[in-house]
């Protein structure tokens, strides 16, 4: 049997402790599968005295992440500190510079510094693996790099943030407000005290940019992801979605567009009869469309101790077996500079909800502004007047362009009889 693989764990929060549990509780099984033991030889965390529910008395503590990165008795670092910069970045950079393999669950780090870190790793023939950074326990990184490696991918669509998916699922089921359900999610531990990255789409954008790089062979371009969050969704939008035969999901989409790649995160009407529409609560799902394989669908838990730790250990197993491949599937030196497609030219159907004064001629004005931008309507719903004299007008368009909808809505919202900003949600047909 080969000598043990010596592992240094950095960060002993939920995922770090989950990783430690799997490595110790499944030690014999993992040793059989890898042909060598997987031993945790050192750990690093801010608070050594904290009770983490596991016995760490026999594990050596590194004084700092810098000491862990230089530890001669560590072969691979498993980084679960989090954050794009600070200790996490310093640890991973220093570990690679000190000839250590790195496994990380840190999507912000890879989305922000992945190309630089990949260059360091590939220059030395080291592994930099991050299965746990995207979609938790779903092996989507391995699927793209290995199982789908023969395909030219045309589109990736994902529900990549469990917090936002939980909020939307609960709003739909209970017809409660966004603010009310967010507060509940925070109480249950599904949302952070500061939930901004989850609800505004940033977390999903980090993950999408990583998937897009692997799928399309381009450099990671997190800063080129067009983001819209779920804060403006109202309970009534779920009612109208159901009437039209849809459900509302926060989708992360990367696809080929005119002149490059489109990356976007936004609320979306998804046909109710499709598998993506059935992904509820804190679950994640990813659809990958390839020229040879067609459409493939992946679903599972997108976060939590067990699923994320499972993905971390899967990468450690690859290191133990001596499996090596380029970080983003394509060698980093051959990744193409990211070319952003013109989002204004993207085409699709749109749902629009307006609150207008119940006066003669208002609908005619709205229709004329839409027609001026060559936007045709598939259907229109008008509900009764409320106590303020406002009526809800809901429109479903035929396929049109982003720029046409934007221009039309700009004109509509400028009308005196339109009482508040519109709610516009894109529609995706699978």
Q: Are 260 and 341 in contact (CB under 8 A)?
A: yes
| CA dihedral of 399, 403, 405, 411, whole degrees rounded to 10 | -150
**Range list of H helices, 191-261:** 196-199, 202-216, 235-244
Tokens representing 220 are: 């990671």
- Residue 35: C-alpha distances to residues 3, 30, 31, 220, 361 (Å): 9, 8, 6, 35, 77
Closest C-alpha to 82, from 115, 29, 47, 45: 45
Closest C-alpha to 302, from 131, 137, 83, 103: 137
- Just list the catalytic residues: 207
CA dist 256 and 157 (Å) reads 12
Beta strand spans in 168-327 (E): 226-227, 246-257, 260-271, 283-290, 294-301
- Residue 30: C-alpha distances to residues 25, 250, 368 (Å): 10, 37, 67
Length of the chain: 430
Q: Are 129 and 323 in contact (CB under 8 A)?
A: no
Q: Are 158 and 135 in contact (CB under 8 A)?
A: yes
CA dist 235 and 169 (Å) reads 11
CA dist 424 and 234 (Å) reads 11
Write the DSSP string, 20-53: HHHHHHTHHHHHHHHTS-EEEEEEE-S-TT---S
Q: Residue 135 burial (CB < 10 Å; 0-12/13-18/19+)?
A: buried
- Taking every pair of Cα atoms in the chain, the longest distance, rounded to a whole number of angstroms, is 84
Q: Which residues pair with 5 in a beta bridge?
A: 38
Tokens representing 143 are: 């699927």
Write the DSSP string, 51-96: --SS--TTSEEPSSHHHHHH-TT-SEEEE---SSSHHHHHHHHHHH
């Amino acid at each position: 049997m080969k000598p043990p693989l010596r592992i240094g764990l950095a960060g002993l929060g939920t995922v770090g402790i989950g990783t430690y549990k799997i490595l110790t509780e499944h030690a014999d099984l993992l040793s059989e599968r890898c042909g060598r033991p997987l031993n945790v030889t050192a750990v690093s965390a801010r608070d050594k005295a904290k009770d983490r529910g596991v016995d760490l008395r026999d594990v050596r503590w590194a004084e700092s992440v810098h000491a862990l990165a230089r530890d001669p008795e560590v072969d691979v670092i498993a980084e679960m500190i989090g954050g794009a910069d600070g200790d996490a970045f310093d640890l991973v950079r220093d570990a690679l510079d000190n000839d250590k393999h790195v496994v990380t669950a840190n999507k912000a780090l890879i989305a922000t510094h992945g190309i630089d870190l990949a260059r360091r790793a590939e220059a030395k023939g080291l592994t930099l693996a991050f299965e746990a950074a995207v979609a938790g326990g779903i092996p989507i990184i391995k699927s793209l790099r290995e199982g789908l490696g023969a395909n030219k991918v045309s589109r990736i669509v994902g529900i990549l943030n469990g917090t936002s998916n939980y909020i939307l699922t609960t709003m739909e089921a209970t017809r409660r407000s966004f603010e009310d359900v967010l507060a509940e999610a925070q109480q249950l531990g599904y949302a952070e005290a500061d939930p901004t990255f989850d609800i505004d789409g940033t977390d999903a954008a980090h993950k999408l940019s990583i998937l897009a790089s692997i799928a399309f062979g381009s450099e990671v371009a997190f800063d080129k992801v067009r983001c819209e969050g779920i804060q403006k969704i109202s309970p009534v939008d779920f009612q109208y979605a159901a009437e039209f035969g849809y459900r509302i999901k926060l989708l992360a989409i990367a696809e080929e567009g005119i002149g490059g790649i489109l990356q976007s995160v936004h609320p979306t009407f998804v046909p109710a009869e499709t598998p993506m529409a059935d992904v509820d609560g804190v679950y994640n799902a990813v659809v990958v469309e390839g020229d040879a394989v067609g459409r493939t669908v992946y679903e599972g838990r997108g976060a939590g101790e067990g699923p994320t730790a499972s993905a971390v250990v899967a990468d450690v197993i690859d290191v133990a077996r001596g499996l090596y491949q380029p970080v983003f599937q394509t060698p980093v030196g051959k990744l193409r500079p990211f070319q952003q497609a013109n989002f204004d030219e993207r085409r699709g159907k749109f749902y629009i909800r307006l609150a207008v004064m119940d006066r003669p001629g208002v609908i005619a004005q709205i229709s004329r502004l839409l027609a001026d931008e060559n936007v045709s309507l598939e259907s229109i719903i008008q509900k009764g007047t409320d106590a303020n004299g406002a009526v809800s007008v809901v429109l479903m368009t035929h396929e049109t362009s982003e720029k046409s909808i934007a221009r039309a809505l700009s004109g509509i919202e400028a009308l005196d009889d339109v009482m508040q900003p519109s709610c516009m949600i894109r529609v995706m047909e699978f």
